[in-house]
Amino acid sequence: MKKTQIGVIGLGKMGAGLAQQAAEKGYPVVGMDIRARPDLETDNLRVVITVAELAKQLERPRKVFLYIPAGAAVDGLIDQLEPHFEEGDIIVDGGNSYWGDSIRRADRLKRKGIYFIDCGTSGGPTGARNGACYMVGGDDKAVAQLQEFFVETSVPEGFLHTGPAGTGHYVKLVHNGIEFGMLQAIGEGMGMLTHFRDKLDISAILGLWNNGSVVRSWLVQLMKQMYDQEGQSFDVPSYIEDTGEVNWLVADALRMEVPIPVISQSIMQLFTSRDQDPTWAKAIAMMRHGFGGHPYGEDEGLKHERRFGRVGEYEMPKFAEGDGEKG
């Protein structure tokens, strides 16, 4: 049985990986990038450099995946595709677009009879190349036409039709928020391990945790892999970069009045990593200096007091005989 032909626009790490995986699994693929990509071309994978060429080479109903950065660029690309697409054709946004934008785009294209699918794609470049995890929102008829493709290019049980337009990108956004919280918790754990009084074998501990413990996960496995790769050290820049999607989730939570303290704090910690010369810390130091004469910078005397100022532990209240007992 002939497999459906697909187009992939944006042959970066994600788009190229998906195009190669699909072609190797027998799907005829037409890729499009801003430049020729002879390094990707095979008998089953052709690359063009214009939207007109892409539309011309795709069989109807056309099915094209977009793997480009979120934002106005997606709308701009849809503007270019629209004159070449016809009723029944399908556009799939596989990037990290905001779910509200996906609902708007689906409504816009529906008026012309063009389907729009929002496809949250997890697993990174390795997943795109070898088997991804798809969270797919969109019209039942459109998703059904690509279901076989989604199943064959995902890991086992790695495809779910989450519901109507917008749900795929919303579920992926929540997924990314959970990811940030998990990253923060693991990072804090590494900080505690490195500050113990005795030197601990962090690589061995991470390996242990991934065998039967309740915190075993791919992220713990990845932490061990990267720690070992960096010479069993954390000697990398502490500045954490990101593309900002989880900020949208925090804003959504405020509108929905849903408390997400762990995810929100993980974003605050991310911002803190970028603040190499923090004004807030200087402001606090200035006020403390003003009201209590506290010094600027480190002070050995205060360090000693901080460590040894308390002699005993918390003093429990003393109860009179019979207090606190039930008759």
Active centre residues (catalytic): 172, 179
Instruction: Collapse the DSSP code of 73 into the 3-class scheme (helix H, G, I; strand E, B; otherwise coil) and give the result.
Output: helix
Peptide bond into 61 cis (omega under 30): yes
- Hunting for tokens 């509200």 — which residue is that? 100
In this structure, are strands 115-122 and 132-137 parallel, antiparallel, or unpaired? antiparallel
Q: Token digits for 44?
A: 């089953």
Q: At residue 185, what are phi and psi to the nearest 5 degrees?
A: -65, -45
Dist. CA 134–CA 155, nearest whole Å = 9
Tokens of 72: 């106005």
Q: How far apart are CA 138 and CA 116, in angstroms?
A: 7
Residues with Cβ within 8 Å of 20's Cβ and at least 6 positions away in sequence, in order, are 40, 45, 129
- Ramachandran class of 273: left when φ > 0, alpha when ψ lies in -120 to 50, beta otherwise: alpha
Q: What are phi and psi of 203, to 5 degrees?
A: -60, -45
Helical spans, DSSP H, in 38-90: 51-57, 72-81
Question: Dihedral angle at the C-alpha atoms of 76, 81, 87, 88, nearest 10 degrees?
Answer: -90
Helices (H), the chain: 13-24, 51-57, 72-81, 99-110, 124-130, 140-152, 167-194, 202-209, 218-229, 245-256, 261-274, 279-292, 300-308
Question: Counting beta carbons within 10 angstroms of the beta carbon of residue 263, is it exposed (0 to 12), middle (13 to 18) or buried (19 or more)?
Answer: buried
